[in-house]
Amino acid sequence: MSVPAAYLAVIAIWSTTPLAIKWSSDGPSFIAGVTSRMLIGTVICLVLVKLLRVALPWHRQAVQAYMAGSLAVFAGMLSVYWGAQHIDSGLVALLFGLSPLATTIISVIMGTETRPGSMKLLGIITALGGLFCVVSLGTANVTSSAYALYGIIAVFVAMLFHSVSTVLVKQLGKDLSALSMTTGSLLVSMPLYLLVWVAVDGSIPNEIPMRAVGSIVYLGVFGSVLGYMFYFYTLRHVSASNVVLITLITPVTALLIGQAFNGEQVTATVWFGTGLIILGLSIHQWGNQLRLKPA
């Protein structure tokens, strides 16, 4: 596959996923929507593992890696789907744009990375200032839900789950292929999804809008399978600094997509906060390169 094509595919999928999550819950409950998505993704992954004859090990470290992956696939996604009911899709993408910063902080806490320098700290503070602008000043103007703040907290917690999962998977799953890692994480997560669905919902809707059906299928195929595969393929062939650009681009494109296709209002305050978050991410990633070197 062409590396630029895979890179653009990741941007397209990550930009459209938040809106697809919101649409997938228009008919069925959010639990039914996410469970259906993961079931589709699991079936596709198992078929690919069989056709491509990819090893799917179940030794102790592999199981630990799959369980670490399930923090994102189960705990993270369940939180995202609940939160997406109450906030606009653009805000979902914006909150997930903070994941590089959260990953750095979690890595330091877990002892896998050294303490960030002054420029990285400045980037973290700047991005958190942007988040404060969006949450405290911009939320009331972009959503009518009474649970907007709780929705933001739920998506923020989901982002933290994804960041913790990233750090753990990097340690435990380094010898596993992207397809094996994705399949194993889905297989560990599916029983949990089914238990939650039976306990909380347990019903199958008599009628599901076509937009919700299309969103669930899209998320199952692209969000749960191809998106991860394209991402890992890109990560293998592109420098880490260029991959980080994806997290700078997708919040903006997701805001624009939500505005264009879902009538979501994006106020000046939200754009200002978005700009601060992107600036903070940029300083965090490349700030040290801007510092003057001694002659």
- Is 33 within 8 Å of 217 (Cβ atoms)? no
Q: Which two tokens stand for residue 221?
A: 């195929």
What is the predicted pLDDT for the residue at 183? Answer: 93
pTM value? Answer: 0.84
What is the predicted pLDDT for the residue at 244? Answer: 65
What is the predicted pLDDT for the residue at 140? Answer: 46
What is the predicted pLDDT for the residue at 89? Answer: 86
Separation between Cα atoms, residue 66 and residue 60, nearest integer Å:
10
What is the predicted pLDDT for the residue at 76? Answer: 94
Q: Which two tokens stand for residue 73?
A: 């696939």
Q: What is the mean pLDDT of each run of 10 residues along the chain (295 residues)?
A: 86 92 86 93 95 94 94 94 88 83 84 75 83 64 66 92 88 86 94 94 82 94 86 72 72 87 82 85 74 50
- Is 253 within 8 Å of 127 (Cβ atoms)? no
> The dihedral of CA 265, 125, 122, 116: what is its sign?
negative
Q: Which residues contact 184 (CB under 8 A, 6 or more apart)?
A: 56, 58, 62, 63, 65, 66, 69, 176
What is the predicted pLDDT for the residue at 35? Answer: 94
> Burial, 282: exposed, middle or buried (Cβ in 10 Å; 0-12, 13-18, 19+)?
middle
Separation between Cα atoms, residue 231 and residue 229, nearest integer Å:
5
- Is 223 within 8 Å of 24 (Cβ atoms)? no
